[in-house]
Amino acid sequence: MATADETGVPGRLWVEEPVGRRRLPDPVRTAAVRAVIVTAVTMTQALTAFFFTVTGSWLAFPMVLSSVASTVGATWAVLDVWVTRQVWNQRNGVVSVPSSTARQLRRERRGARRAARAQARESARIRRRGSGRLSQA
């Protein structure tokens, strides 16, 4: 394999870059692909029905009926993505709310901040109370 020095091109053809989001689970991705395909077909049918209606073709009425049925099917497909995602999250323990351990950590940090503020107030109060008395002699 040639190096960058000889050809001026980096030695690696493919560089993996980390992705910001994780990949969708397989069932959810399958449902999403199905929903996109069904929605695309529905949009194409609706556009075809519109053009048939504009031109006055006899195919306009059957196309409008099939577009209405496809709209119901596309809605069902999109809802299927949502339901599949929810079921996947429930079955595999993906929780979207902060867990009790996260709350516990926040509680501990809050307590540490309060203790630090109380300590700072106490040391300031001690300095004010004893300031200048010993050195005035």
Is-contact 60 49, C-beta < 8 A? Answer: yes
Mean pLDDT of successive 10-residue stretches along the chain, which has 137 residues:
56 78 86 96 96 95 95 96 91 65 81 92 76 56
pTM tops 0.85: no
- For residue 35, what pLDDT is reported? 96
Alpha helices in 56-99 (DSSP H): 60-91
- For residue 8, what pLDDT is reported? 60
- For residue 15, what pLDDT is reported? 80
DSSP per-residue codes, 5-67: HHHSS-S-S------SSPPPPHHHHHHHHHHHHHHHHHHHHHHHHHHHHHHT-TTHHHHHHHH
